[in-house]
């Protein structure tokens, strides 16, 4: 790989041992993917939940954090994905002290390296949203697909060590979605139906993800009416990334690289029609039970507007089943101030800050609480939780809240 003078100095250890380790890692990644050089990035976002890190991963972070302050500090704004717990409510979920101690150790190591503990997968809705053409090193799949598609920024799916390396060096290998040629459509979809609810947007995204098939596929979608909002695009992209490993999509007239039909070279691609019946078919494949054990709003974390909608649906109701609403540490104080948290919790629900359900030892939580059937409006989470022993059910926000009242999903 071609390195400039500053990068060569990092590789030679002139910027300290931690940056040397980081750029060595990046060169190996770049060589694997055929990158010619490194590209400067302005932000990094690290996925590093301790359920995935384990003891060995946390020890690795701690080893890096032992170097001198000058050696170990990140060079660009570097933030974190959701954590595996909300320490104030961990006992309510049945999380053990061993799980919490691993979290504390990881957090302490990150802080020593200058990482900002934002604990969010909706940074594009809360913290320094990416701008068109900005090169990034982001980890969470939902964050990457939204940043690439809706914001027009440029990032690959960065593994935890690679995102941290980018924070330490201010660089990432220039391959994949940093390059123009990988941002062109590979699949063409058309629909005559526009989703109205977040679960429908997620189901549509999931179906396109399944049909597109792999990380290097770039779908373009025609036929969407109006201008979907941020939450709709969030659920659409997060589900597409989950079902199809997709990192970039285009929606004609909506996303910045597809504002007009002439902006993209895609007319040579075979057109695949997507019907409402197909989308509802995907949703209905996750409606195989009626009685539920728990309702979860998570993955992605809830925006302030989603918190408002849930609160209004909860107002005046009493739950017989637990309802868990997970939002970011940036949204939670506003939700508290505006009374949304109180409305949800007065009905018997619980609002969690800075965590994501499936990154929080979801299998152990299910076993501890006796949960099996889970209702949610997130297509992303239903695609994931089957692997954790749940029977996940996809439904509208309204139906999920009502299920917490009655114990049944209509």
In 295-361, which ranges are continuous DSSP H helix?
Answer: 304-314, 332-337, 340-346
On the question of pLDDT at 105 being above 70, the answer is yes
Residue 220, strand partner residues? 188, 250
CA distance between the termini of the chain = 57
Band (pLDDT 50/70/90 cuts) for residue 265 is confident
The domain segmentation of the chain, as residue ranges, is 5-179, 184-283, 288-406
362 in helix, strand or coil? helix
pLDDT at 309: 98
SS3 content of the chain, % helix, strand, coil (to 5): 50, 15, 35
Cα 382 to Cα 292: distance, rounded to the nearest angstrom: 14
pLDDT at 260: 64
pLDDT at 170: 98
Q: Which class is 5-179 in CATH?
A: alpha beta
Q: How far is CA 128 from CA 44, 74, 124, 134, 236, in A?
A: 12, 17, 7, 12, 21
Mean pLDDT, rounded, for 122-142: 97
Query: Largest Cα–Cα distance in the chain?
Result: 65
pLDDT at 6: 98
Strand 373-376 versus strand 391-394 pairing type = parallel
Residue 271, strand partner residues? 188
The backbone torsions φ and ψ at residue 324, rounded to the nearest 5 degrees and listed phi first, read -115, 125
User: Does the N-terminal peptide bond of residue 300 adopt cis geometry, omega within 30 degrees of 0?
Assistant: yes
Band (pLDDT 50/70/90 cuts) for residue 262 is low
Q: Classify burial at 69, counting beta carbons within 10 Å of its beta carbon; exposed 0-12, middle 13-18, buried 19 or more.
A: exposed
Q: The CATH number of 288-406 is which of 3.30.499.10, 3.30.360.10, 3.30.390.30, 2.40.30.10?
A: 3.30.499.10
Band (pLDDT 50/70/90 cuts) for residue 264 is confident
Tokens read off for 231: 């939450």
Cα 348 to Cα 345: distance, rounded to the nearest angstrom: 5
Residues recorded for the chain: 410
Higher pLDDT, 262 or 276: 276
On the question of pLDDT at 201 being above 70, the answer is yes
pLDDT at 48: 87
Query: At a CB cut-off of 8 Å and minimum separation 6, what does 256 contact?
Result: 132, 150, 151, 152
Q: Are 373 and 359 in contact (CB under 8 A)?
A: no
Query: At a CB cut-off of 8 Å and minimum separation 6, what does 32 contact?
Result: none
Whether 5-179 shares its CATH topology with 288-406 is answered yes
Which pairs count as long-range contacts for 126-131, CB under 8 Å and 24+ apart, including other chains? 126/328, 126/330, 126/331, 127/79, 127/330, 128/43, 128/77, 130/43
Tokens read off for 161: 């060590």
Band (pLDDT 50/70/90 cuts) for residue 230 is very high
């Amino acid at each position: 790989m071609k390195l400039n003078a500053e990068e060569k100095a990092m590789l030679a250890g002139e910027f300290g041992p931690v940056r040397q380790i980081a750029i060595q890692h990046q060169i190996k990644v770049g060589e694997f993917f055929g990158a010619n050089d490194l590209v400067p990035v302005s932000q990094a976002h690290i996925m590093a939940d301790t359920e995935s890190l384990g003891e060995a991963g946390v020890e690795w972070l701690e080893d890096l954090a032992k170097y001198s302050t000058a050696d170990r500090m990140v060079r660009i704004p570097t933030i974190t994905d959701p954590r595996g717990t909300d320490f104030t409510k961990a006992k309510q979920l049945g999380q053990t002290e061993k799980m919490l101690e691993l979290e504390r150790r990881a957090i302490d190591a990150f802080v020593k390296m200058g990482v900002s503990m934002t604990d969010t997968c909706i940074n594009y809705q809360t913290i320094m949203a990416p701008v068109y053409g900005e090169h990034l090193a982001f980890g969470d799949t939902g964050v990457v697909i939204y940043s690439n598609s809706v914001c027009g920024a440029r990032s690959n799916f960065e593994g935890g060590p690679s995102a941290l390396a980018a924070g330490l060096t201010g660089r990432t290998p220039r391959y994949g979605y940093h390059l123009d040629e990988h941002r062109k459509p590979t699949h063409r979809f058309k629909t005559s139906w526009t989703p109205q609810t977040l679960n429908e947007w997620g189901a549509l995204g999931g179906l396109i993800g399944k049909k597109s098939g792999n990380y290097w596929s770039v779908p373009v979608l025609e036929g969407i009416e109006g201008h979907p909002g941020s939450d709709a695009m969030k659920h659409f992209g997060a589900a597409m990334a989950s079902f199809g490993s997709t990192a970039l999509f285009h929606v004609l007239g909506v996303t910045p690289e597809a504002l007009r039909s002439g902006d993209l070279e895609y007319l040579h691609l075979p057109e695949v029609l997507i019907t409402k019946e197909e989308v509802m078919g995907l949703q209905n494949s996750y409606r195989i039970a009626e009685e539920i054990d728990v309702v979860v709003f998570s993955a992605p974390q809830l925006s302030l507007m989603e918190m408002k909608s849930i609160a209004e649906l909860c107002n005046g109701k009493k739950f017989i089943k637990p309802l868990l609403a997970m939002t970011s540490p940036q949204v939670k104080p506003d939700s508290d101030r505006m009374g949304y948290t109180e409305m949800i919790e007065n009905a018997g629900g619980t609002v969690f800050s800075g965590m994501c359900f499936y990154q929080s030892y979801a299998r152990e939580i299910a076993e501890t609480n006796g949960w099996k059937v889970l209702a949610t409006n997130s297509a992303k989470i239903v695609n994931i939780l089957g692997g954790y022993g749940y029977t996940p059910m996809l439904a509208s926000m309204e139906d999920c809240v009502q299920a917490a009242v009655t114990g049944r999903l209509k």
